[in-house]
Amino acid sequence: MSMLILASASAARARLLRAAGVTFGVRPAAIEEAAIAASLLGEGTDVEAIAAVLAERKARQVSMWAPQALVLGCDQTLICDGRLVAKARDIGEARSTLKTLRGRAHQLMTAVVLAQDGVAVWRHAESASLWMRRFGDEFLEAYLKTKGSGILDSVGCYRLEGQGAQLFERVEGDFFTILGLPLVPLLAALRERDILPT
């Protein structure tokens, strides 16, 4: 049986895997996501495909370091009005991101790739659509004060599984996909590869 390695430092993804009873190690990939995304956009890559490219690069890179392991690479991008929205680096940028998203729809593209010996052996991508409500500035400031820098881990500066749910009026898509890991298809792929019992 191969060992599974998560090529990500995401605490949310690790929590989801642990809660589902998956045993795994962690070795975050060392890639410059923002630079790669910018380069891909400059080359004319469709914004919807960027998460898949980044997930595969992460999985393949770490699988070269651990050739016997099955490596899980993941990525999630946020698209609003056809444009990629970058992760906020500080609370000021988080405020700006949330002001941009409020009252509008956006899409989360989530991709996962399993790689072994530097080769992608399984790929899956899903999207979800979310509509933020038109919350007021007072609500926004209270939210930022309450949640603090913890929201900077999420590309949209929210956690739907927590207080971030209050930001939305409508959500369409798989809950696990929104959290950054399409868990059900991934678990099926892990069973097919004897990482999990059938």
Token couple for 174: 């798989």
Q: Which residues sit opposite 84 in a β-bridge?
A: 79
Query: Which residue, 131, 175, 152, is CA-closest to 10?
Result: 152
DSSP-derived 3-state class of residue 71: strand
Token couple for 56: 């595969």
Q: At what angle do helices 50-65 and 33-42 cross, to 10 degrees?
A: 130
The yes-or-no answer on residue 137 being catalytic is no
Token couple for 144: 């930022």
Q: How far apart are CA 163 and CA 146, in angstroms?
A: 9
Q: How far apart are CA 87 and CA 39, in angstroms?
A: 17
Q: Of residues 46, 75, 81, 137, which has the active-site annotation? A: 75
Q: How far apart are CA 91 and CA 152, in angstroms?
A: 8
Q: How far apart are CA 20 and CA 18, in angstroms?
A: 5
DSSP-derived 3-state class of residue 196: coil
Q: Which residues are catalytic?
A: 75
